Every structure is written in C-alpha cells, then in structure tokens.
C-alpha cells in the first residue's frame, strides 16, 4: 500500500508539475496570471481526442503535434492580449480578469462544439501491459504519462538554463525593466514563453484523458485552480519550483486516496493553506511585502 | 484637505449618493415585479463595495472574496438548522463566521500582488471543499446543499439586504472622506513611505481586510436567507468574486459612485443580453469582459476625468 501510494504519487506529481509549469512560466516572465490555463489544457485534450478518433493518431504522436500547434497559437495571442494589459495601472490584477474572460470564451466555444458530455481515449493505446514496480502494478498509461511529463520538464530546464534565449528569459524574469534597458527584446522573449506555456498546457491536455479518466469542456476552471495549488506550493514565478509543488501535491493526493478516500479532494488544499499560512511565499519563495 | 472640508464632502456624498441609491432600492419592489433580480443587484452592489474597501483603498485584490460570502451563508444556515435561531440572530452568526475566517487569513496580507490574489482563491476553495465534504453531512449537509424552508421570508430578507447596502455605503463614504481612508490609500501607493509618515500599515490593512470580510459575510447570510435553498457551489462560486471585482474595477475603485455605476451598467447588460442558451451567453459575456479590459483598462474613471467630471 505504502509503496503503491508513493510511486503513484510521484507519477501524478510529475504530471501535476507539467500542468503547473506553463502557468508559472507565464507568471514569472510577464507577471500575468493566465486564468485560461486549464482551458488550453482542455483544448489540447480535445485536439488529441480528435486526432485519435478521426485520424487514428496515437496520443504519443499527438504530443509533438499539439506542442507545435499551441506554441504557434500562443505567439500571436501574446501580442494581441498582453502588451495592452501592461500599459494599464495594475496589470497583474487586470490580467486575472482579462484571462477569466478568455477562459469563458474558450469554454463556451468548446461547449458549442462538443456539448457537455465526457470524452475519453481507451487507456491501452499507450500500452496494454501494466508495469510492475516493487510488487505493485500500475497502468501503462500512468507510466507513459509520467515519463512524458518528465521529458517535458527536462526540456524546459534545458531551455531555461542551457540556451541563450533561456538565459535572456531568466533575465526578464528577475528584472524586467533592466532587461529592457540592456536592449533585450522583452516582447519577443515573452511571446516565446507564452507560446511554450500554452504548448505545455496542451501536452498535459493530451495526457489528461488518461490521468483524469476523461475530459469535458467545463473542466478548465478546476484544472486552473489545481495548477494554482501546485505553483503556489512551489513558489509563484519560479518555474522549476513547480516540480517541488507538483510532487508534494501528487504524493499528498495519492496517500489521501489510498488511506482516506473521501477526504482526498480536501488534502491538497489543506496542505496548500498550511504552507500559505506558515510560509506565505511557498516552499522556495522569497518575495514578501516590506511592511 | 482639512477635516471640515472632509465633513462637508461626506455630507454631500450622503445626500447625493447614499440616500438616492438606498431609496431607489427601497421603493423599486413596489413598482418592479422581478424581486429576485432587484435582490441580486443589491447583493452585487454590496459585494462590489466590499471589494472597493479592500482593493480600492489598500490595493489588495482578494480573488477568493466569495469565500467570505459563502462563510456568511453557511454561518447563517447552520445556526438556523441546528439551533433553530431566529434569522436576525443567525445573521450575526454569519457575519461572525466571515470575520473569523478573515482573522485566520490575516497572515496572507504579508503577500503582495497576484500572490495574495491566488492565496485567497485557494483559501476560499479550502473552505468550500471542507463544507461540501460528504463526511460532514451531519453538520453542513455536505454536497447536498441547504434547505431553510422554516425561515423563508424574502420580503423581510430583502429589506435587511437594503439596510446592509446602506451601512456598506456609509462605510465607503467614511473611507472616502476620512484620515483613515487617506492612510489606507497611502498604504496602497507605497507601504514603506506610508509607515515612515506615521501610518500604522499593519493595523490599517488588517482593519480594511476585516471590514470587507464582514460586509461579504453579512450579505452572504442574507443571501442564504433570501434564497433559502442552495448548494455549496452556489455560494462559493468563483464567478461571484470575479463579477464583483469586474464591476468595481470597471466603475472605478476608491470612489463611492464607481462600483455603483459598474454594477448598474455591467450587471444591467448581463441581465439584458437576453440569450437563453447558456454557452452563447457565456461567449458574449466573456468577449465583453475581454473587450472592456483591453479597451478600458483603467475603467470608466479616466474617461470621466478627461471630460472634467470629478467622481465622488
């Protein structure tokens, strides 16, 4: 039981890290809260569903397809929404409202297109043989999703810490105004980060039918709130802190589901509120008010 | 501004803003038959002013503001269900529940900007999850919702809601015209300078925070009383927070008239769209919110100021 909860928790932790990663990247780089994050995840899920049922594309191969497609959507969407926002008096707060509007629009369009019923992709397309680790059995789809999430996290790490554009991106994250004055094209860097963020959400969406069991057009808000729980635990604005938050969330969730299932939905929030009251900036955070 | 001038302005605000608004909502039920709509207007006017107290004056945006509303609704309902308390006493319990939640959450005021917004969102979600947990069905009715047929009295509840609206407006008029309100705005602009100028920052923001919690708790309690049948997701609906925030921001915060006109215009449009299919309605409303934020990022206020109108 213990081993099962722990390993399943780590697998889900990787997946939750992937869910939160993009949201945290956007917040870190442009100080904007994308409340439509969960809706982009939902769209990614429906893209995978559509590719699978109509074109017979295995979700594994859908991952690179949706990644590129959503990165390409994110680029112009950034220029459409964010610079205008940053001209206002209180962009962080206004972004919550703007992206709430976007979330409503996406959810409405998805409902018009797909109705309100649940959609799923059979789990055995990611491998029919369950995996055995420490005498415990796990569905292949969980393992594949966990590995895919780990690969995406590793790629984001490489992007941020091993490439020049990542170096510049981190410069914008830590001091936006100074980055601007040293001649960094802040908008181009931000647009790229926005595109990558949507792409990560969409990849998480491709895996969503396996990890959540099914997808529905209205799932966006709940997913966004889960992502917040994950990134606040890990610290807002620190993309790799997300992984810590995701792990804590995943393991806590699995232990709760194993030992006290009817309280399972509660624990992640309790962990979150405890962390917030004791360490308001999250586990890795530094940023507090001066007064 | 001298205090005499502040008092004179305050009196003007009472006579030209508070009295007409409250009088209108006291009279409207006699001439307009959709009482639920009028009640909802009062609820959003109060919530938008509650947001105004905390966000407009101190710059803290509580995205999970609805948590206090829900706490008030459940505080009211539990006292009625388990102690068979009369509604007016239960109302006090609702206000207390929100106040206690506010006190528990005061450490969150150490966070800034979006950190605070999201932390309150999480806090509201925690309360909603606890209340709707099936294990607590004996106490809170869990996810099955509350039924309060015994105290159902919509007319009376509506009158109490109008009284709460009057009290809330009175508080905003006070903040708008007092040293304390000015101190709060100094905290909003720059907490470090404010504290150097002798403003007790922690005390000021805590009072504003608890006042706004109290406002939401009171109106939440009246809401529970008025509709008397509801589910946890009804009174912890994130949409309520967002509506209140959008209304307040659109009209202009740190003013008295701003949130009122925001509710009047936007909630008016919301009810006037007149499309029954929910997803098309959602589409139009979402687009409207995006357009407002994109083209009027600072609300109506700068527009009016450009035309030389000084908004009270």
Instruction: Return the domain boundaries, chain B.
Output: 3-306
pLDDT in tens, A99-118: 989 999 999 999 999 888 89
Structure tokens at A248: 């804590």
Q: Kindly determine whether residue B126 and residue A92, on different chains, have CB atoms separated by under 8 Å.
A: no
Residue A266 has pLDDT above 90, yes or no: no
Q: Is B33 touching A (CB cutoff 8 A)? A: no
A229, A269 contact by CB (below 8 A): yes
CA angle (B280, B282, B283) in 5-degree steps:
60
Average pLDDT over residues A57-82: 93
CB A10 within 8 A of CB A146: yes
CATH architecture of B3-306: Orthogonal Bundle (1.10)
Residue of B nearest to A103 (CA): B286
- pLDDT above 70 covers a percentage of chain B that reads 98
Q: How far is B241 from chain A (nearest CA, A)?
A: 11
Residue of B nearest to A272 (CA): B122
Distance between A142 CA and the closest CA of chain B, angstroms: 26
Q: Is the pLDDT of residue A63 over 80?
A: yes
- Mean pLDDT in chain A? 87
Query: Contacts of residue B275 in chain A, CB cutoff 8 Å?
Result: none
Cβ distance of A277 and B279 shorter than 8 Å: no
The percentage of residues in chain A with a pLDDT greater than 90, rounded to a whole number, is 43
For chains A and B, count residue pairs whose Cβ atoms are closer than 8 Å.
159
Whose tokens are 């926002």? That residue is: A85
- pLDDT of residue B99 exceeding 90, the answer is yes
The Cα–Cα gap between A271 and A258 comes to: 17
Q: How many residues does chain B have?
A: 312
* pLDDT at residue A61 greater than cutoff 60: yes
Q: What is the pLDDT of residues A208-220, one digit of tens each?
A: 999 998 999 989 8
The answer to whether B279 contacts A93, with C-beta atoms less than 8 Å apart, is: no
With a threshold of 0.95, tell me whether the complex ipTM lies above it: no
Helices (H), chain B: 3-13, 19-31, 35-51, 57-58, 66-83, 87-104, 113-131, 137-140, 154-177, 179-189, 191-196, 201-227, 232-235, 238-251, 257-262, 268-272, 278-295, 301-306
Q: Measured between CB atoms, does B125 come within 8 Å of chain A?
A: yes
Residues A227-247: what's their mean pLDDT? 83
Q: How far is A190 from chain B (nearest CA, A)?
A: 18
Q: How far apart are CA B9 and CA B4, in angstroms?
A: 9
User: How far is the CA of B206 from the CAs of A275, B203, B219, B287, in angstroms?
Assistant: 21, 5, 20, 36
Judge whether B130 and A237 are in contact, CB under 8 Å.
no
Question: Which pLDDT score is estimated for A290?
Answer: 41
- Residue range A8-19: average pLDDT? 93
What secondary structure, in 3-state letters, does A79-126 show?
A: HHHHHHHHCCCCHHHHHHHHHHHHHHHHHHHHHHHHCCCCECCCHHHH
- What would the two tokens of residue A188 be? 């181009």
Higher pLDDT among residues B112 and A83, named by residue: A83
**Chain B CB contacts of A236 below 8 Å:** 114-115, 118
Query: What are the angstrom distances between the C-alpha of A12 and each of A18, A210, B236?
Result: 10, 11, 27
pLDDT tens digits, one per residue of B17-44: 889 999 999 999 988 888 999 999 999 9
pLDDT digits (tens, 9 = 90+) for B170-227: 999 999 999 999 999 999 888 889 989 988 999 999 999 999 999 999 999 999 999 9
Cα distance between residue A73 and residue A104, in whole Å: 18
Handedness of CA A213, A219, A220, A225 (dihedral sign): negative
pLDDT at B137: 82
Mean pLDDT of B107-119: 82
Among B111, B285, B289, the residue with its CB nearest the CB of A97 is B289
């Amino acid at each position: 039981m213990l081993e099962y909860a722990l390993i399943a928790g780590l697998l889900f932790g990787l997946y939750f890290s992937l869910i939160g990663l993009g949201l945290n990247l956007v917040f870190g780089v442009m100080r904007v809260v994308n409340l439509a994050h969960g809706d982009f995840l939902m769209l990614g899920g429906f893209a995978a569903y559509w590719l699978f049922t109509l074109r017979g594309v295995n979700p594994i191969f859908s991952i690179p397809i949706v990644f590129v497609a959503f990165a390409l959507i994110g680029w112009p969407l950034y220029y459409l929404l964010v610079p205008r926002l940053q001209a206002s008096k209180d962009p962080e707060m206004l972004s919550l409202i703007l992206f709430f509007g976007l979330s409503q629009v996406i959810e409405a369009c998805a409902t018009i297109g797909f109705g309100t019923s649940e959609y799923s992709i059979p789990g055995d397309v990611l491998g029919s043989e369950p995996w055995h680790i420490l005498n415990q059995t796990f569905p292949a789809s969980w393992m594949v999703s966990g590995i895919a999430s780990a690969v995406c996290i590793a790629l984001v790490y490489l992007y941020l810490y091993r490439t020049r554009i990542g170096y510049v991106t981190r410069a914008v994250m830590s001091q936006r105004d100074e980055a601007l004055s040293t001649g960094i094209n802040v908008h181009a860097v931000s647009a790229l980060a926005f595109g990558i963020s949507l792409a990560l959400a969409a990849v998480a969406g491709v895996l969503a039918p396996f990890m959540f069991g099914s997808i529905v057009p209205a799932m966006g808000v709940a997913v966004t709130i889960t992502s917040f729980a994950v990134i606040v635990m890990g610290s807002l604005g620190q993309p790799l802190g997300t992984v810590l938050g995701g792990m804590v969330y995943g393991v806590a969730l699995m232990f709760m589901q194993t030992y006290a299932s009817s309280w399972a939905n509660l624990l992640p929030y309790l962990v979150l509120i405890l962390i917030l009251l004791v360490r308001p900036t999250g586990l890795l955070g530094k940023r507090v008010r001066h007064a | 501004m001298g205090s005499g001038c502040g008092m004179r302005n305050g009196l003007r605000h009472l006579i030209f803003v508070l009295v007409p608004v409250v009088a209108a909502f006291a009279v409207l039920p006699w001439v307009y038959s959709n009482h639920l709509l009028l009640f909802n207007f009062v609820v959003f006017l109060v919530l938008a002013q509650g947001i105004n107290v905390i966000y407009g004056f101190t710059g803290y945006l509580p995205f999970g503001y609805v948590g206090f509303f829900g706490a008030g609704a459940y505080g009211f309902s539990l006292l009625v269900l388990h102690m068979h308390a009369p509604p007016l006493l239960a109302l006090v319990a609702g206000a207390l529940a929100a106040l206690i939640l506010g006190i528990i959450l005061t450490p969150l005021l150490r966070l800034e900007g979006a950190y605070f917004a999201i932390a309150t969102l999480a806090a509201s979600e925690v309360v909603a999850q606890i209340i709707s947990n099936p294990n607590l069905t004996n106490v809170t009715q869990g996810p099955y919702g509350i039924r309060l047929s015994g105290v159902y009295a919509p007319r009376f509840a509506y009158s109490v809601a109008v009284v709460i609206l009057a009290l809330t407006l009175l508080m905003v008029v006070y903040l708008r015209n007092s040293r304390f309100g000015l101190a709060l705005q100094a905290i909003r602009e720059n907490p470090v300078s404010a504290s150097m100028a002798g403003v007790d920052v922690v005390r000021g923001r805590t009072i504003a925070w608890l006042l706004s919690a109290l406002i939401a708790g009171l109106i939440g309690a009246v809401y529970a009383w008025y509709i008397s049948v509801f589910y946890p997701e009804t009174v912890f609906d994130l949409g309520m927070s967002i509506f209140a925030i959008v209304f307040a921001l659109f009209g202009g915060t740190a003013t008295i008239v701003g949130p009122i006109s925001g509710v009047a215009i936007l909630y008016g449009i919301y009810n006037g769209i007149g499309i029954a299919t929910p997803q098309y309605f959602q589409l139009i409303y979402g687009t409207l919110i995006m357009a407002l934020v994109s083209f009027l990022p600072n609300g109506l206020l700068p527009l009016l100021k450009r035309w030389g109108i000084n908004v009270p």
